[in-house]
Chains A and B, each alone.
Chain A
């Protein structure tokens, strides 16, 4: 076909971010505004540009221009906050741009979370029609592909069973089948947002590669340079809401890997985050602030890539400005799909019980053993809260992003298993006991 599937001209999106979220102060301010000039206040809310006290504007996307041809599979790369997800949200019409135009030649749809619109009390049949209706398909259109969906998902006699009674395998077969059959000319895939089932996204993408690649245009957002390199023909690199590079997937992936930001730092999240006094997450009462978080190996070197056979530590630092109630440090490990893989608290092994933390800087390490994490990308959230009330807390989601690799070193959990390891967040070393001895 070779003609244009998508044209973006001067696209921009502005957000207003509130610096002060003290609701009472905001209420007084808003109320005063209302009394002083009610008409203008209401109109500005209507226009969607009402500003609240201390609000700042922030351009998530600015002056984007590009064209995508039919059949291209385009990977969109960029670090957190570069505007990738905003771009996809605009293109899939979840939100509107502030300026500019996007022209789409064909139907467009997002491949998202498994069965986002499914209702568990409804049967598979009802869910398929409901899904079709939400995607704007008529009953007749759905009728046409209904049998195919059922056949493909191998549900057979369970067509009229409520999906809450399905096994997870049946459920995901149905969801996959629905997603594969209600396909659009242009498919938008946000691997980062597709929480819950990265395997599902992979399966859809490989199906697309095998079967329906002809004329299928795909926009693919991912943290994983590997998936972009493997699946895409072209790459677009975003930084601070602008396109900074556009080329083949391999070129862009390399550029992304080696790219640095304006301060000369790598644009991939580093193995260490240190907060200044100003930008540190702190308790609302300002008694405690986070200072730093880093991933360190046994030689105390900060790194953000580890082999599955390696052990490492997450080191956290915080400052108690005014001693108060008992504190509890939490670390949450999220997998690439955004699902919480596990969490860990500091309440077992520290001199914790019943003590008030004295003022000053505190540092502690949480050891992640070898053979725990599976290969993949993990995002770490560092939270500090009062315990047991949790009414004061400070949190830093995504403060570290770690890559766990599998170089197939000896002594790993995989043993002599030579095929790909299984897709799951963890790969623990578990003991197997045998009743009968092996006879040579």
Chain B
């Protein structure tokens, strides 16, 4: 928001300084982590709300969280694993693809929800003030419970294929961070733009598909042409996917400098997307 919130405690006898200053938006600033932190409970409660209400009136309930990536995995395993005989770095293709689909489903669902988050919460936005950044961020993190459930299934599949379960698994959350940052950055950028240009909502699903095929989800990075193989490692989704496989002793991970580069890319996306969002958020209501 354009408003700078300063919770200064003024001296008792002196003139008090304003608690809230409302000014026109000026300049470019990085997303305000402080505002987001101040409203962390809103993020928490809205995720809680969504999780609690998402599968009401479905027969299978939260089972859907697990079934969705599982069904996709079976389809891809049949088509790419059995028919097309896609190489998978020497590990069973179902495990190979499922280990990538779990984080990718989380990220892509998050991205798409984030893009629609401003339109979807129109009624609240026009009535109540809160830092608007909460909405896309909450949308990205919203699938975290589904992700946790899917990871449990992934553990089961890894055990089924007799992959060793080692302390590497503890690093798994770390690999997710660049993905979350990149998706949040893009989500912030695209959600703000989609208010101005509705076209964004139509092109977004195609962007997601393109991103999926550009990332080593259905195939290992080793089958990419040599010219792009290394550069592909800068894609934050690549890092997440390979990190997830690596944690389950499947596939390989890019060397450290490339990992650092990919983290840089995701931080950059988050800062840039957040800055655009911050610039546009205070006038969202006028355009919505």
Which residues from chain A sit less than 8 Å from chain B, CB to CB? 3, 7, 15, 45-48, 50, 89-110, 112-113, 116-117, 119, 121-122, 126, 129-130, 132-139
Contact = CB atoms under 8 A, between A and B. Distances in A.
Contacts of B123: 116
A107, A126, A134, A137 — which one has the most chain B CB atoms within 10 A of its CB?
A134
User: What are the nearest 7 A-B pairs in CB distance?
Assistant: A96-B282, A103-B18, A93-B129, A96-B2, A133-B45, A102-B22, A133-B42
B212 interface: no
A119 B47 CA distance: 13
A47 B49 CA distance: 34
A135 B196 CA distance: 26
Given A46-B276, A96-B282, A106-B19, 15 more contacts: A15-B286, A48-B280, A94-B285, A95-B284, A96-B24, A101-B23, A102-B21, A104-B19, A105-B19, A107-B19, A109-B129, A116-B128, A130-B46, A134-B124, A139-B41
Interface string B33-44: 000001101101
B58 interface: no
Contacts of B234: none
Contacts of A105: 16, 18-19
28 contacts: A15-B286, A46-B280, A47-B279, A89-B285, A92-B129, A93-B1, A93-B129, A94-B125, A94-B285, A96-B1, A96-B283, A104-B20, A104-B22, A108-B20, A112-B128, A116-B128, A119-B49, A121-B56, A122-B49, A122-B53, A130-B46, A132-B41, A133-B42, A133-B46, A134-B130, A135-B130, A136-B39, A136-B42
B206 interface: no
A93 B18 contact: no
A92 B129 CA distance: 7
A125 to B, nearest CB: 12
B18 A130 contact: no
Given A101-B21, A129-B45, A95 B286 contact: yes
B272 to A, nearest CB: 12
B128 A96 contact: no
Nearest to B193: A45
Contacts of A50: 196
A183 B3 CA distance: 21
A414 B212 CA distance: 69
The contact size tier of chain B is: 35 or more
Nearest to B42: A133
B48 interface: yes
Interface string B71-104: 0000000000000000000000000000000000
B222 interface: no
B179 to A, nearest CB: 26
Nearest to B16: A105
Contacts of A98: 24
Interface string B246-288: 0000000000000000000000000000001001101111100
A84 to B, nearest CB: 16
B126 interface: yes
Contacts of B49: 119, 122, 126, 130
Nearest to A90: B22
A112 B279 contact: no
A96 B3 contact: yes
A117 B128 contact: yes
B42 A122 contact: no
Interface string B104-115: 000000000000
B44 A133 contact: yes
A138 B41 contact: yes
A104 B18 contact: yes
